[in-house]
Each structure stands twice: as structure tokens, then as C-alpha cells.
Amino acid sequence: MQIKPTRPMTLLAILMTLSLTLAACGSSDATADSGLSDIAADDATGNDTLPDLDGAIPDLSPRDAEDITDMVQADGKDASQDEASDLPPDATPDVSMDVAPDVQPPACIGTPGTAVWPTDVSTTFIRGPFVQDVRDSHAFIVFRPAQPLPQQGCATWTIEGVSSAVPVVACVDPDAFGQYAVRLDELPPDTEITYSVFVGQTLTAGPFAFRSAPSLQQPQRILMMSDLHANPERTQTILSKIVSQGLAAGVDFAMTVGDHIDQAEEGQYDDLFDGLRPLLHRIPLFATIGNHDSRSDSYFEAFVLPEADPPDPAAPELYYSFRRGNTWIGVLEIIDWQLSWTFGEPLGQAVWLEKELDSPAARSARWRLLFIHQPPWAKNWAPCDPDHPMYGEESLRDMLVPLAAKKGVSALFSGHFHDYEHGTMDGVELFVLGGAGGGLEVSCPAPEGLPQPWTEKIVHHSLTVDTGCDALTVVATDIEGTEIDRVSIPYAGK
Ligand SMILES: [Fe+2]
Ligand SMILES: [Fe+2]
């Protein structure tokens, strides 16, 4: 939730803005001010039209490319600086997985999805209260009145098993959007926290409860959804069913993979949080940015997310990683991958990710999962126009998937295409799960090179993913509750 008055643009972003402007100039709907916020040409169905960047990057001299590389590498940190002070004693930090494949993660203890969540809601606030960034020993409680108020907003909470005559109380000022984010610290692991919030005498909500972050050994059950493209009709007919299924499944946290809304406007994010209300009263959501989220202040304001180390200078929450239970998660954004592919070497986020995958937090995890809105592979999208095909991102096929395979990533989750798709590339399971609200695709002919076998189900759906001790189990379920696919990835012992 980092908002700056003016978000500085890196040289990379300037180049990409220029390239997208050039790309848009050739199309009939080009606008004079095309830029990063205009990647998506939105339409009423919420479908995406990310421009193909092939040939759109301006010619640069070798010196230009060298300067960019130097700048990005200067931003990177030495892998030896990575420390995970909270690793269990039997974790063996090692930053050279390629030469030490026998490194074992800590013991795996527990069963995912054992929480029992109620479904009652409070509508006192237009957003929330919802729990965010629940990891390590902290959490945030976030809430926003319908109109900004001058006074502070407060949260009170009690910790399961800790007797206290008076609940803990913390109050904060509203931010520029009138939103409150109260941070809770020093929470014991895997413990029920009961909380309420209030602003003044009349605006109150709660009590609700959530669980603090698990120990590093624990499996997790994750609800995954993408391309919600929230509006009141979609949240009522589609998202509400996904939310109910997630609560009934006892999920531990949720991941989204972009395109939360059609247009990055405050009112549409209000619709989003209204639809997610019963879920986010109780479990945290970690968001991935999509092209419709448009790198907007509204997106970055909406969520409290981890930040990369070092953070992207344009937006600290643009990409990030975190460890939760027995699983390491990396959340990515597309632009650096397209630039890296264009220049033929890792830039920005690509440099950062390789170091993160070598960190003790990632190396000691039983499962490593990646999230990026645009997929490496997909079948063409509606209306299957052969003159403007879209089969996924070549930059990701050439750079991200090989890196993921080399570093032991089990699965990569994407959206952007409004259906369910699954296949395997270089031993990495690729999932497309863009079926949480936007208009559905149609079945198109498979492109040359698409991994085989390849599964496609054109229905609204979500995933539950169990990061079990013996297997990573991915279950795709449509909004009527019918299982449409199940993929089990055995734990390979590294
Ligand atoms: Fe979408
Ligand atoms: Fe998209």
C-alpha cells in the first residue's frame, strides 16, 4: 500500500512506455498518451488485448543496452546477503541448488485446509475490515469508510490462549484514500486472533477471527482465482460462489493472479472488496497485478502486500516473494520479462528472481510456486483471430520457465485468458486460471509447439491448491461445485 505523490519512472519503464506508444500508433484505437497504464484496451466483457511487443521495442545501441544492464544490476543485491533468520534449525541454507541437489527442506507437519470459517459479514465499511499480509509474526487489519473521515481508525484484538482483561488496541490515521491499516505485531504462529474495528462512536465491525501465519513446516490450502473483472453482477453470480467454496474448503489464504477489475477505478475496487468481503474478513489475500490493474494507485492502495528486496523503484509492491508455511511464493509482473527477452539478458525483476530462488527461504521450502498474470502458453483467445494470434508470452517460454525448471519451481500460475488450461513445460506445471469473472474464451485451434497433453476447460472456476507433505494437489472446480480437473505433483525430495 505504498503511494507516492509522483511515481518515478525507471529508464526501463520509459523505454517500455515508448515502445507501447509506438505499438499503439499502428492500431486503429491508438491514443496519443498510450503508456503503461494503457496496456489493456478494455472492453465490456473484460477481455484483454495486451499488444504484441514483437518488433515494438525501439532500436538501441549496444551502449544503451549496456547502460540499462549496469543500472539494473546495480539495483540487485548480493545473494550472500540473503538471510532467513526465522528458518527452523534443521533447514540447511544453500544458495547453490544446482550443485547440491540433496538439500532437504525441514520436516513437513500437518494437514492443509482444517480451518472452519463462518460466513457472516459486516457492511459497516465499504471495504473490510479485511486481513492482509499475514506472514512471519505480523498482520494488517484494513478498513475504509464510504467517505473519508478525519479521525483515527482503531483495531482491538485478543490472542487465543493469552488471557488479558483488556484487548490490545491500536489506532492509526487515515491515508490519502481514507483507508486505515492497523499493523499487529508479535503474533504467535498458527494462533487464532479475534479482532474488531471502529472509527468514532458509530462505525464498528466485528468480532471476526483469523489465524496468524503458520510455522515453516506446515502445509497450506490456497484458494486461487484470476481475472475477476469485478462488477456487481459478476460478484453476485460468480465471485460469491467461489468465495463460499473457499470458506467451505477451509483455505488458509488466497492468491489472485491479476485483472481484479475492468478499469482501475476506485468504484470497481469497491465492488471487488464487496464480493470478497466474507472471505477477507478471515483470510489474507496476496494479489498479483494484471494489465487491467494498470499499475494504478488504486491497485497499490487496495492491498497491503510484501515488497521485493530491493523493491522496484517504480512501485515497491509490483513484484515480491514471501514464505508461508512449507511453501515459497514468487509474484511477478510481465514488463521486465519482455524487456529481458528483447535485450537477451536478465534485467530488473529477472535478476531479482534468480537470487530470490537461491535464498534460504526458497531453498528450504517444500514447494516453490510462481504467479504472473500473462501465461507462457495458452490456446488462442476469442475470437481465434489468426491474424492477431495470442498464444502466451514467448519471453516467459524462453526465460522464465527455464529458470523456474532449473531452480525447482513446481508450478506457475497465470490468468489473462478467461478459461482453465493446464500443461507441463520443462517439468514445470503451467496453469491458466482466468475464470473468476471475465467473459469466457472460445475454443481455438492449438498453436504449434503447445505442450502436449494440454487441458482446456472453458468455464468459470477457481483452484484450491494443497501444499501437502507428499504432493502438491491442484483441484479446479467450477462455480457449481463440480471438479473439472485434478493434478497431483509428487514431492520429489528436494
Ligand atoms: Fe482478464
Ligand atoms: Fe489480462
Please write the tens of the pLDDT for every residue from 451-482.
999 999 999 999 999 999 999 999 999 999 99
Q: How far is the CA of 49 from the centre of ligand 1 (A)?
A: 9
Cα–Cα dist 107/158, whole Å: 30
Q: Is the pLDDT of residue 51 over 70?
A: no
- Which pLDDT band holds residue 39 (cuts at 50, 70, 90)? very low
Query: From CA 326, how far away is CA 217, in angstroms rounded?
Result: 5
Q: Give the residue-averaged pLDDT of 42-51.
A: 42
227 CA to middle of ligand 1, Å?
Answer: 4
Q: Does residue 100 sit in helix, strand or coil? A: coil
Domain end: 211, 240, 266, which one? 211
- The pLDDT value recorded for residue 237 is 96
The reply to whether 320 and 387 lie within a common domain is: yes
Q: What is the pLDDT of the chain when averaged over all its residues? A: 82
Distance 415 CA to ligand 1 centre (A): 7
Distance 459 CA to ligand 1 centre (A): 14
What per-residue confidence (pLDDT) applies to 306?
Answer: 96
pLDDT beyond 90 at 355: yes
Do 88 and 177 belong together in one domain?
no
Q: Of the bound ligands, which one is closest to the alpha carbon of residue 292?
A: 2
Q: In terms of residue numbers, what domain contains 245?
A: 1-121+214-494
Would the pLDDT of 27 be above 50? no
Gap from CA of 403 to ligand 2 centroid (Å): 23
Rounded distance from Cα 262 to ligand 1 centre (Å): 8
What's the rounded Cα separation, in Å, for the pair 286 and 319?
Answer: 11
Cα 121 to middle of ligand 2, angstroms: 30
The rounded Å distance from CA 189 to ligand 2 centre is 36
225: domain CATH number is 3.60.21.10
Same domain as 442, residue 305: yes
Q: Are 477 and 367 within one domain?
A: yes
What confidence tier does 298 reach under pLDDT thresholds 50, 70, 90?
very high
d(CA 43, CA 47): 6
326 shares its domain with 459 = yes
Please check the confidence at residue 113 and state whether its pLDDT lies above 90.
Answer: no
Q: Which residues of 381-415 are buried (b: 16+ CB within 10 A; e: fewer)?
A: bbeeeeeeebbbbbbbbebbbebbeebbbbbbbbb
- Which residues contact residue 247 at a Cβ distance below 8 angstroms, ignoring those fewer than 6 apart? 117, 118, 119, 278, 279, 282
> Do 376 and 446 have their domain in common?
yes
Q: Which residue has the higher pLDDT, 50 or 216?
A: 216
One domain, residues 303 and 174: no
Report how many domains make up the chain. Answer: 2
**Residue 125 Cα to ligand 2 middle (Å):** 29
Average pLDDT over residues 112-134: 90
CA of residue 176 to ligand 1 center, whole Å? 28
* pLDDT computed for residue 493 by the predictor: 79
Question: Which pTM value belongs to this model?
Answer: 0.82
pLDDT of residue 23: 31
Band (132; pLDDT cuts 50, 70, 90)? very high
Q: Predicted confidence band at 399 (pLDDT cuts at 50, 70, 90)?
A: very high
Cα 442 to ligand 1 centre (Å): 14
Of residues 176, 236, 172, 152, the one with CA closest to residue 479? 236
Q: Which of the four pLDDT bands, split at 50, 70 and 90, describes residue 107?
A: confident
Query: What pLDDT sits at residue 114?
Result: 76
Please compute the mean of the pLDDT values over residues 116-142 and round it to a whole number: 94
Q: Give the strands of the sheet with 168-172, arranged side by side.
A: 168-172, 153-159, 192-199, 203-211
Position 401 pLDDT exceeds 80: yes
* Predicted pLDDT at 166: 67
Ligand lying nearest the CA atom of residue 49: 2
Ligand sitting nearest the alpha carbon of 50: 2
pLDDT score recorded for residue 6: 29
**C-alpha 293 to ligand 1 mean position (Å):** 10
User: Which three-class secondary structure state does DSSP give residue 382?
Assistant: coil
The pLDDT of residue 22: 29
**What are the φ and ψ backbone dihedral angles of 330, each rounded to 5 degrees?**
-115, 130
Residues surrounding ion ligand 2 at CB below 5 Å: 48, 259, 290-291, 416
User: Residue 191: which CATH number?
Assistant: 2.60.40.10
Residues 188 and 221 in one domain: no
Reply yes or no on whether the pLDDT at 46 is more than 60: no
Range 80-98 burial, b when 16+ CB lie within 10 A, else e: eebebeebeeebeeebebe
CA of 48 to the centre of ligand 1 (A): 5
Q: How far is the CA of 238 from the centre of ligand 2 (A)?
A: 18
Q: In whole angstroms, what separates CA 458 from the centre of its chain?
A: 22
CA of 330 to the centre of ligand 1 (A): 20
**Strand ordering across the sheet containing 285-286:** 285-286, 253-256, 221-225, 461-467, 471-478, 483-490
Q: Ligand 2 centre from 374 Cα, in Å?
A: 7
Domain-ending residue, one of 211, 238, 260:
211
Judgement on whether residues 10 and 83 belong to the same structural domain of the protein: yes
User: How far apart (Å, rounded) are the C-alpha atoms in residues 416 and 433?
Assistant: 8
Q: Which ligand places an atom closest to the C-alpha of 434?
A: 1
Does one domain contain both 242 and 366?
yes
Cα of 373 to ligand 2 centre, how many Å? 7
Ligand 1 centroid vs 294 CA: distance in angstroms?
12
The whole-number pLDDT of residue 245 equals 97
Average pLDDT of the segment spanning 264-283? 97
Q: Which of 143, 176, 211 is the last residue of a domain?
A: 211
Query: Rounded distance, CA 441 to CA 449, Å?
Result: 20
In the reported structure, the alpha carbon of residue 343 is separated from the centroid of ligand 1 by a whole-number distance in angstroms of: 27
Considering the domain architecture, whether residues 268 and 403 belong to the same structural domain is answered as: yes
Amino acid 167: pLDDT: 74
> Predicted confidence band at 164 (pLDDT cuts at 50, 70, 90)?
low
- Identify which of 432, 431, 421, 411 has the alpha carbon closest to the alpha carbon of residue 490: 411
Q: Which residues surround the ion ligand 1 when the cut-off is CB under 5 Å?
A: 48, 227, 259, 438
pLDDT: is 255 or 74 the higher one? 255
CA dist., res. 81 & res. 95, Å (int): 11
Q: Whole-angstrom Cα distance, residue 295 to residue 156?
A: 33
**If you write DSSP's letter for every residue of 295-325 in order, what string do you get?**
T-HHHHHH------SSPPSS-TTSSEEEEET
- Dihedral over alpha carbons 410, 415, 419, 420 (to 10 degrees): 10
Q: Give the CB-side neighbour count of residue 239, counting CA atoms within 13 A.
A: 27
Helix residue spans in 281-425 (DSSP H): 297-302, 335-343, 349-357, 360-363, 394-395, 401-406
**Is 88 or 325 the better-scoring residue by pLDDT?**
325
Residue type, 132: Q
Question: Worst-scoring range by mean pLDDT, 205-209, 308-312, 430-434, 440-444?
Answer: 308-312
Q: 286 with 139, same domain?
A: no
pLDDT attached to residue 104: 60
Instruction: Tell me: pLDDT of 91 over 70.
Output: no
Q: Identify the pLDDT of residue 83.
A: 31
* Sheet strands side by side (includes 127-135): 127-135, 138-144, 180-184
Mean pLDDT of 39-52: 40
51 Cα–ligand 1 center, Å: 14
- Per the CB < 8 A criterion, the answer to whether 153 and 175 are in contact is no
Predicted pLDDT at 10: 41
State the ligand closest to the CA atom of 288.
2
